[in-house]
Amino acid sequence: MQSYWERETLRHFDLIIVGGGIVGLSTGLFYAESHPNARIAILERGFFPEGASTKNAGFACFGSIAELEHDLEHLGAERTVELVLKRFSGLQLLRQTFGDQEIDYREVGGYELCFEAPDLERINFFNNLLEPSLGQRPYSVIENGDFGFSDRVKFMIKNTLEGTIDTGKMMGVLQRKVGLLGVQTFTQSAVTKIEDRDRGKIVRVETASGPIELLAQQVALCTNAFSKDFLPEADVQPGRGMVLVTKPNPAFDWEGSFHYHDGYHYFRTVDGRLLLGGGRQLDREGEATTEAGINDSIKAQLLADIKSFIAPNIAFEVDLCWSGTMAFGADKNPIVQRIDDCTVAGIRLGGMGVAIGMGVGKELTGLLS
């Protein structure tokens, strides 16, 4: 039962953002900065964001050679460059907004593991393609160095402009920033339905104390993998990604962000631990889900990779396993568009949410304004 104050004032908002991940928080941040008197609410179904925003591996990357080959095939050269620049610009926006220290950004390089000799002509092709936009030739070939990988790894292709972040620090500073700007965040508040009303929307929410109806002049859908609940015709397919982290071991003291198998697998070290994730291509049908969980066959393959070539002579023990759900479509371009007079959507981040999420939030703010 609502009080008079709740009914007449506290349930009314200028903007309701559905989804409390990177895009939702960034949208709240930029909208609040440009509309300081607006009442803004962010609604998140979980206690922590239920997508991948607090569950990713902390890679500040925009594309290995193998990943860009796929983008080139689906998008063509011009749109591939546009997508890379969008990712790269998103990373710069993230760094400039908070500072490298706040998010523990380290430009340690991105390394693509090669199990056979790389194609130097293709590397030159992508350097030539991206140099006019990035101002640098990011890719170079290096030999299997001092990381302790087995001799199965013949070479690595290094991207000098990639790095790592601390995902927890990044999300923590985002949450604090929007709070200081007066944005209200409601967790464990699952939006069940959005309906039209005069001059706005009715947002129906299921909470621990029961259902409630909120009223908004505008709604921003920042729901990524969960977007089919509100946009059933959208080209959005969920893709669950598993991550595991070992217990600390002094041998895990090297830096870098590493990819293999066309970017589907990735690993790094953090706090003296090995963090390894990915592998959804091993069971595409099974991993096309928004349900949290661990796929035992994928976990077994990741563990085998550690023993086989990542850390073949290092004893390790798994400490934690978790999963986060991303969103994909026909290509890796995000969907940023107006749905109707009162609704916008920023969804389908293509597994590059750290790189592109803040930029999508800023673009959404432009649509809302």
User: What burial class does residue 26 get, using C-beta atoms within 10 Å of its C-beta: 0-12 exposed, 13-18 middle, 19+ buried?
Assistant: buried
- Per-residue model confidence as pLDDT tens digits over 19-35: 999 999 999 999 999 99
CA atoms within 13 A on the CB side of 159: 28
pTM: 0.96
**Could you tell me the pLDDT band of residue 92, with boundaries at 50, 70 and 90?**
very high
Give the separation between CA 249 and CA 313, rounded to whole angstroms: 12
Q: What percent of the chain has pLDDT over 90?
A: 95
Average pLDDT over residues 91-111: 97
How far, in Å, CA of 19 to CA of 46, rounded?
9
The Cα–Cα gap between 324 and 243 comes to 8
Tell me what the mean pLDDT of segment 332-354 comes to. 96
DSSP string for residues in 233-280: TS--EEEEEEEEEEPP-TT-----EEEETTTTEEEEEETTEEEEEE-G
Domains of the chain plus CATH, in order, are 4-54+170-235+331-368 (3.50.50.60), 108-163+237-328 (3.30.9.10)
Distance, in Å, from the CA atom of 359 to the CA atom of 365, rounded to the nearest integer, reads 10
Contact 10, 40 (CB under 8 A): no
**pLDDT digit string, tens, across residues 250-288:** 999 999 999 999 999 999 999 999 999 999 999 999 999
